[in-house]
Structure formats: C-alpha cells, structure tokens
C-alpha cells in the first residue's frame, strides 16, 4: 500500500478519536443529529478491526471513513474553540477535511447520493459553517440532500 494511501486511511489513536467523538456527539450532534451514534461507533470498531489486517477499505468503507474525518475535522476545530486539553495541532481540522474530500466528497459528487453520502455532505456543511466558510457549505447542503430525500427526477 502506498504511503499516501496509508495516511489517507490513518485513524488517530483510540483515546484521541474517542475524545473527538465525545465532543461531536455531546455538542454538535445535539443540534444537528445527522449520524446515528450507535451505528457510527459500530462501524468505527469494524474499521479498526479490518485495518489491523491491512485490508484496503471498500468504496463503502471509504465513504464512511470520509464521515469519520469530517467528524474529526469538526471536533478538532471545536476543541480549539473550547481550548480542550487534548486538542491537537491548529491545522488538524484542515488535514481531516482534506482527507474526507479525497475519500468521498470529490468522488461521486455527480452521483445520486445514498444515505452515507448525504450524511457526509451534511457533516461537511456543518464543518464549513463552523470554520466560517458559509458560502462553501451551501454547495454541500441544498442539492444533494434534496435529491436523496426526494429521489432523482
């Protein structure tokens, strides 16, 4: 597996990821319940198990991994706003967002979205609003979510 792919599929250590998940699900998720927490955490455990064996993620897993990186990006940004002890580097949120774009947001942008893709677009929109990129967030919210909710015409 190429070095770039390894970095693309890299997940922070569990204790750091858990801190991010806790912040996301206790703050952002309360206002914008886009993800199903139990399903998200179940998929996280499954991904950790498969990544131990060096298995390259399927397209479905890559889309989920994009959501994971969007959650990490949003919570990394928030961790700096609240000056959390466990916060990472100031640009961590940019790295996670770039990984999410590479994993899913750039691929399939012209497809009729499935629920995973809609969740990715919604969490991306939340991140972009939180990072003062409101104009860009509109690109991820209107058309894709409407299309998925009402089907393609």
Mean residue pLDDT across the chain: 79
For residues 138 and 37, the model is more confident at: 37
Q: In the prediction, which pLDDT does 67 show?
A: 93
Q: Given this model, what pLDDT does residue 80 score? A: 80
For the stretch 96-133, pLDDT in tens is 999 998 887 555 555 556 788 788 888 888 888 888 77
pLDDT at 3 over 50: no
14-27: pLDDT as tens digits: 888 999 999 999 99
60's tokens: 């479905």
Domain membership of residue 32 as a residue range: 3-150
**Number of structural domains, the chain?**
1
């Amino acid at each position: 597996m190429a070095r770039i792919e390894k970095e693309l599929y890299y997940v922070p250590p569990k204790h750091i990821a858990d801190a991010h998940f806790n912040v996301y699900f206790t703050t952002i998720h309360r206002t914008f319940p886009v993800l199903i927490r139990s399903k998200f955490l179940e998929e996280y455990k499954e991904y950790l198990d498969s990544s131990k064996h060096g298995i390259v993620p399927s397209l479905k897993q890559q889309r989920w991994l994009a959501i994971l990186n969007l959650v990490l990006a949003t919570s990394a940004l928030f961790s700096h706003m609240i000056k959390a002890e466990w916060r990472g580097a100031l640009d961590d949120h940019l790295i996670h967002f770039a990984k999410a774009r590479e994993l899913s947001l750039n691929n399939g942008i012209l497809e009729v979205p499935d629920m995973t893709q809609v969740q990715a677009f919604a969490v991306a929109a939340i991140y972009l609003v939180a990072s003062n990129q409101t104009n860009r967030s509109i690109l991820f919210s209107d058309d894709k979510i409407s299309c998925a909710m009402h089907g393609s015409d």
